Structures are given as structure tokens and as C-alpha cells.
Amino acid sequence: MSMEHMTALMFVIAVASYVQTVTGFGLGMIVMGATSGFGLAPLPLVAAVVSLLTLVNSAVALPGRMHLVDWPAAKAVLLGVVPSIVAGVVLLDYLNSTASTLLQFLLGAVITYSGLVFALRPTQLPRRSPDRSFFVCGLTSGLFGGLFGMAGPPAIFHFYRQPMELAVVRHMLLLVFAFTSSTRTVYLGATGELTKEIWILAAMAALLVALATAAGRHYPPPVSPLTMRRAAFALLLLIGLSLMGSAALGLR
């Protein structure tokens, strides 16, 4: 990796860490989207690094805030994550480049649809969804987390529709991402796929993640919850279009 690509990747990681802290998501999608769009590094490499950095982000952002978590919903999500994230990692290992690019395009389409729908109308459901819907959310989130190192789209789509305060949604998302990343990292470590390069990149970025996360925790943007929701889904739209664009170029 060239010095220019390394610098760009570190900058993107810092920005994404701040965004994830104040919205509950963003680290994986922003980093993976920028990596794909600008060709900064191989997808499996960055996915593994993102998993490690997500753990750093969560370790700084979650302490003292666990009382905000809706635990019945969170447990249902986490039960669905474990089997599907392993399946996602295995699938990534066996995909050829064309199939991987096609999946990236489909992921971008899902993110784009989510961002478009909720940026235009980020309304909440009148009642909290049943726990079984959170389990299904965990299954799909784990699959995306295993494939791309970002479990965000299904969880964001589902959580932001719930009649919950923004702080509850944000910290539930952080908890899900922490669990997803730890499961993915343990599996990669057990199969010998955590290379020296992955550890070096993660160590270089860890301080940036901690500082950006602390900044987001203590200095969030002074905007209303509705504005935050609209900004969150507008960001989803931009990321989704970026993924679709880079995947379309790869399929040509």
C-alpha cells in the first residue's frame, strides 16, 4: 500500500469513527465504501481491519451507557448474528472476483434504497417490533458483517424505525457492531486469517479511532434527533451510490 493510500485510509477511518459515535453507525460502511470507490486496499484486508477498529470504537463509546440498551431486542439480534456471520466469512472466502463485485453492487443497492426511503420520510413505527423481527435482523446483519465487515444496513434500517429515543438506537447499534466484529475476529483468528499486515494497520489506526470516538462522545453535533435521522439516511444514500458505482465499473 502506498503512502498516499495509507494516509487517505487513516483519514477516512478517523472521520468514520466520529460519525459512528454520534449516529450509531458509519465506521464499516464509510471505510469500506471509500476503500472500494478509491481502490485504497483489498476488500478482505480492510474488512478484517474494520472489525478490529470497531472493537476499539465500541470500547470507548459504550462504557457507562449500557443501561440505554433494549436488552430483549439486543439479545434477539445477537442470537441471529453468530451463525450468519460465520456463513458470510466462509462465503467471502469462496467467492470469485465477479461474484464478489456483484454482491457489492447488490449491497450498495440495499443501502441506497434504505437511505432514499428514510431520508425522505424517517418516521418511526407506532409500536416496537416483536423480538423475532430483531432475530431476523441479526441474521441479515451477520451475513453482511461476515461478507463485508459491515453489519450496518439491516440493523440501521430496522432500529431507526423503532419508537425508541435516538440514544437508545445509537447504543444498541454500537453493541451489535461490537458483537459482530468480535465474532468475525475470533473466527478469522481461529482459521489463521489475521495476518501481520492486518494487525499493523489496525494498530496504526487504533489511536485515531479512540480520539475520534472520544470527540464524538463528548462533542456531538448540536442538531435535533429528526435532523440526525435525516443526515444518517442521507449518508446511507451516498455510501450506497458509491458502492454501486464502483461495483458497476468492476463488472464492465
The count of structural domains within the chain is 1
Q: Return the C-alpha cell found at 225.
A: 434527533
Contact in structure between 147 and 92 (CB atoms under 8 Å): yes
φ and ψ of 56, to 5 deg: -65, -45
Whether residue 188 is predicted with pLDDT greater than 80 in this model: the reply is yes
Say whether pLDDT at 251 is over 70: no
- The mean pLDDT value for 182-201 works out to 89
Q: Which is more confidently placed, 103 or 165?
A: 165
Prediction pTM value = 0.75
The Cα angle at residue 157 between residues 155 and 163, in degrees rounded to 5? 95
pLDDT of 199 above 90:
yes
What is the band of 96 on the pLDDT scale with cuts at 50, 70, 90? low
The more confident residue out of 252 and 47 is 47
Whether the CB-CB separation of 213 and 174 falls below 8 Å is answered with no
Contacts of 112 (CB under 8 A, 6+ apart): 236, 237, 240, 241, 244
Mean pLDDT taken over the chain? 82
pLDDT score at 45: 86
Task: Give residue 148's domain range.
Answer: 3-251
pLDDT tens sequence across 36-91: 767 788 877 888 898 898 888 888 888 888 888 888 988 999 899 888 988 888 88
Identify which has the larger pLDDT, 98 or 193: 193
pLDDT at 202: 92
Over residues 25-34, mean pLDDT: 76
Asked whether the CA dihedral 162, 105, 148, 242 is positive or negative, the reply is negative
The answer to whether 89 touches 146, Cβ cutoff 8 Å, is: yes
With a CB cutoff of 8 Å and minimum separation 6, the contacts of 41 are 1, 5, 9, 35
Looking at residue 136, its pLDDT comes to: 92
| C-alpha 41: how far from chain center | 18
pLDDT at 124 over 70: yes
Place of cell 470500547: 59
pLDDT at 191 (0 to 100):
86
Average pLDDT over residues 9-35: 82
Helix (H) and strand (E) counts in the chain = 10, 0
